[in-house]
Amino acid sequence: MLFAHGFGCDQNMWRYITHAFENDYKIIAFDYVGSGNADVSAYNADKYNNLNGYADDVLDICKELNLKNIIFVGHSVSCMIGLVAGKCEPSLFSKFIFIGPSPRYINDVDYVGGFERKDIEELLDTMDKNYIGWANFMAPVIMNNAARPELGEELTASFCSTDPVIARNFAEVTFLSDNRSDLPELKVPSLIMQCLDDIIAPIEVGEYLHRNIADSTYRLMKATGHCPHMSEPGETIQIMNEYLSDKSIVN
């Protein structure tokens, strides 16, 4: 199982759920360039000006470690990074598990992404002017678990520890990307895990993905917010296990 973290996060945030799979799978987690303990000097703005650069890194990891029959578990933007990787090298992957995925964050004709373009432009402008302030405000909103403030605090700390220039560039690539045309090209079975009351990926997005990805299973979670692997690890583990053991809800 290859775990790929979301924007502003690192591999440590998978610790709430990886233990549940250690006996049955080889667990691999990593940090994208600019996140966690990754080598910042490896960052190249030209390479990472779209999600393809990040997908290439995923494929490099797979090939370097000689991985086969990979179950790719992606959170947030990593879902589309994984999808691009799977489109390029489908033979490497056996299943995809998408947690809070979105192929496009900006609303379009007959498409609900959750944001208007001006919302994203304002977000990026705020990041430019005051990244730390942005992180302190947005992280708890994204986590959306007011009863457990420590989760928002952890996400805030993770945002703040990320290189601000790289984070801002990654945010632009993430929120301005449009991978809708890639969805029908995924030929590997997938699980779409959709949270309630998720400001980043509303329910309409998960339903859109399910309609446009062949051989996909859709599960609407009880968890709220955008990080169920942190806020509701028990539910996350249960749904993943049901899917992996072929006991999930029929498509």
**Where do we find the tokens 């062949």?**
214
Cβ-based neighbours of 39, under 8 Å, separated by 6 or more:
33
Question: Can you tell me the mean pLDDT for 129-150?
Answer: 93
Q: In 3D, which of 11, 190, 29, 18 has the Cα closest to residue 97? A: 190
**DSSP code at position 227:** -
Contact 145, 231 (CB under 8 A): yes
Q: In 3D, which of 22, 24, 2, 204 has the Cα closest to residue 85? A: 2
Question: Can you tell me the mean pLDDT for 119-134?
Answer: 94
Pair of tokens at residue 230: 């942190």
Contact 234, 241 (CB under 8 A): no
Quick one: pLDDT at residue 39? 83
pLDDT at 34 over 90: no
Percent of the chain with pLDDT over 90: 90
Sign, CA dihedral 118-122-128-131, equals negative
Q: Which domains does the chain have, with CATH numbers?
A: 2-244 (3.40.50.1820)
- pLDDT tens for each residue of 194-225: 999 999 999 999 999 999 999 999 999 999 99
pTM of the model: 0.94
Catalytic residue set: 76, 198, 226
Quick one: pLDDT at residue 170? 94
- Tell me which amino acid residue 217 is: T
pLDDT at 250 over 90: no
- Tell me which amino acid residue 118 is: K
Pair of tokens at residue 170: 């990654």
Pair of tokens at residue 119: 């919302």
- C-alpha–C-alpha distance, residues 61 and 77, integer Å: 18
Cβ-based neighbours of 109, under 8 Å, separated by 6 or more:
none
